[in-house]
Chain A
Amino acid sequence: MSSDEYTLKLDGVWKKYSTTDFFHKSIREEIVGLFNRKKDDTLSKDEFWALRDINLEFKQGDVVGLYGTNGAGKTTILKIISSITYPTIGSITVNGTVAPLIEVGAGFHPDLTGRENIYVNGTIIGMQIKEIKEKMDNIIAFSELAAFIDMPVKKYSSGMYLRLGFAIAVNSSAGILLFDEIMSVSDGAFQQKCIDKIKELKRENRTIVMVSHNLSLLRETADKIYLIKDSTAVPMSAG
């Protein structure tokens, strides 16, 4: 396997979360952990497994859908892939750049204009300033917001907000793209456009991991679908 291939592997990943509001314990654990390294694979009171023994492997060009009900652990998987959080047990191997994208419009500041926010969000999801400048026209065209692009985004409707965010996201040059429920809120026409764009990205041989609770949407784009249920992943038939 050549090193420029984008691959992603989750190996026996378990993730523990706590249901309580008191995190005082956790910093103490970090400090104590500096001195004695012990893997805690047992649950104490108020803790639960958000993920249990997840084994997934994605290859370059894979479009993978993660399907499941709310709270099943789909987003936690994306968070672990993009190293927002770390597995309690198990390991993850990432080959290639992951667009650190879980939600559209991350880092948008309400007082900044659409154009200014393209720079903010673009760099947050890992683009270079120069690259954003080059892609600016594409992004604005895709969002269909040319008339409003120099207006503060606090005056945008939520649909406009989402369109701008998605337009930036799909212009990312990262090899692995992560989408979390991003198409469920937009109108039909724009949704179709997004589906077409995902297919186009697939033809460019990029790895895409999508999370949704809309199965038909996943069936239309993904070539592998996993059902995330009770904190575990089960393969489903696609298409």
Chain B
Amino acid sequence: MDIIKRIIKYRQLFIVLVWREFAVRYRYTIIGVMWAGLQPLSMMLLFTFIFTYIMKIHVSAYPSFIFYFAGLIPWTFFAHSINSSIPSLTNHYQLITKIYFPRELLPLSSIATALLDFVICAVILFVFIVIYQIPLTWNALWLFPLVVLLVVFTTSVSLFLAGLNVYYRDVRLASNFLIQLWFFMSPVMYSVDSLGTKMKLMLFLNPLTFIIENMRRVLLEGRGIVLWQMAFVCVVIGVFYVVLTKFFIKIERAFADVI
């Protein structure tokens, strides 16, 4: 809660930092903001090609590229957030050693930029849903709490890693490999649906499994959410958030001396 209070106090700076990051990213580019959709779309094409023609895996009743795209959107948000927030503090060491502001604003503005990309991709997904006439049900409303869980989880992990990177630059070096591992542990190119209980439980240790899997279910398959699982994941992510943000605020005071 501390972090939310601090952001509200510094919201004007936060808005400007998000705008700055977004503006700078697409300045001097030809296709500009279209880059936001390009990466997940090309990954989608790749998966569709590999799993339709090479490995011949049947993943869904609806077109499989939509299946992959729906998994790639939350995944890309998570991966981009982590990747851009880890160096966000160390890259701005000049600001950190000269000016006081809540340090979490830097990683958070990276996350906010990734969230804007997420929204752009979500619009593209919605266009696919309309074109391929995938029926939406009321269960699709579960999407909103799922997005909240995704953002809270991503924020906790990003703040933790970004803060740790100030002390140990190993974090930055390890992150690529870590994200790659995490990718295969998350149901982006597969679904946990067909797996046995043991395997499912193991994969559900990763909060992203629950989030990505259920985003697809409620939106594309019109299925509901298992409530006890939802409650469990909420508690896990809540604990993550409290512990990791406390840790960040604790070490944040020394950033200017250490960085």
A contacts, CB < 8 Å to B: 17, 23-24, 26-27, 30, 34, 79, 82-86, 100-103, 106-107, 109, 111-112, 116, 119-120, 123-125, 127-129
Contact = CB atoms under 8 A, between A and B. Distances in A.
B95 A30 contact: no
Contact of A124 (B23, B24, B101, B256): B101
A103 B98 CA distance: 6
Contacts of A111: 24, 27-28
A109 B24 contact: yes
Contacts of B24: 109, 111-112
B95 A106 contact: yes
Contacts of B99: 82, 84, 100-103, 106-107, 124-125
Given A100-B99, A129-B12, 7 more contacts: A26-B258, A27-B251, A85-B254, A109-B20, A109-B24, A119-B16, A124-B13
Interface in B14-73: 15-17, 19-20, 23-24, 27-28
A26 B167 contact: yes
**Which 7 A-B pairs rank lowest in CB-CB distance, beginning with the nearest?**
A123-B16, A123-B13, A100-B100, A102-B98, A27-B167, A23-B258, A103-B98
A120 B254 contact: no
Interface of B: 12-13, 15-17, 19-20, 23-24, 27-28, 94-101, 164, 167-168, 250-251, 253-254, 256-258
A179 B258 CA distance: 23
Task: Say what secondary structure dominates the interface of chain A.
Answer: loop
B97 to A, nearest CB: 7
Contact of B20 (A26, A30, A34, A120): A120
A30 B250 contact: yes
A79 B16 contact: no
24 contacts: A26-B254, A26-B258, A27-B167, A27-B168, A27-B258, A84-B96, A84-B97, A100-B100, A102-B98, A103-B98, A106-B94, A107-B95, A107-B99, A111-B28, A112-B23, A112-B24, A112-B27, A119-B16, A123-B12, A123-B17, A124-B95, A127-B12, A129-B12, A129-B15
